[in-house]
Amino acid sequence: MEDRLSALYHGIILEHNRAPQYFEKRPAAQFAVEAYNPVCGDKFTLYLDAEAGTIARATFHGYGCAVSKASTSVLMKKIQGLPFAAVQAVIATFFAETGSRNDPPVAQPDPEIAAFAPVRNFPGRLTCVTLSWQALSDFLKNEV
């Protein structure tokens, strides 16, 4: 069990938790997407600016466990400057790698996304890892 747990809390996740990228509150952003898990209390706001169907700028602010914060940091990093369709593809890749949709893992995953694959061994942490990714996916499907 300890080996599996240390696989989940390794370098990339610890680094993104310690020094999250794009961690900035921006109330004037074009869109604010709420990602909240009432069970554990993780809560992030994703601040998005879009231009011509592309994420021009994305930041986040809030609080949560190490894996949810790191996961949100990676999400923000991966979507900068991407068209909405490409963002959905990145999200689908993340869901496949983490097993949240029962898809097989990606053959050549991005190392930062692959860092979250060990969550497959901790179903109770799946919501933490996918919280912001699911909120953004829902937003893109319903609002944009």
Q: What pLDDT sits at residue 86?
A: 96
What is the number of domains present in the chain? 1
How many other C-beta atoms can be found within 10 angstroms of the C-beta atom of residue 82? 17
Q: What pLDDT sits at residue 110?
A: 85
- In terms of average pLDDT, the best of 44-48, 97-101, 117-121 is 44-48
Roughly how many angstroms between the first and final C-alpha of the chain, as a whole number?
42
Q: What pLDDT sits at residue 5?
A: 44
- Least confident residue range of 19-28, 58-67, 86-95, 111-120: 111-120
Q: What pLDDT sits at residue 1?
A: 46
Q: What pLDDT sits at residue 67?
A: 92
Q: Is 7 a residue whose pLDDT tops 80?
A: no
Sheet holding 43-51, edge to edge: 31-36, 43-51, 54-63
Specify the residue for token string 């240390």.
6
Closest CA to 120 of 140, 136, 96: 96
Give Dmax over CA atoms of the chain in angstroms.
Answer: 47
Domain of residue 82, CATH code? 3.90.1010.10
Q: Which domain holds residue 87?
A: 2-143
Q: Rounded mean pLDDT of 78-86?
A: 97
Q: How confident is the model at residue 9 (pLDDT cuts 50, 70, 90)?
A: low
Q: Is 14 a residue whose pLDDT tops 70?
A: yes
Outline where DSSP puts E strands in the chain. 31-36, 43-51, 54-63
pTM above 0.75, yes or no: yes
Q: In the chain, what percentage of residues exceed pLDDT 70?
A: 86
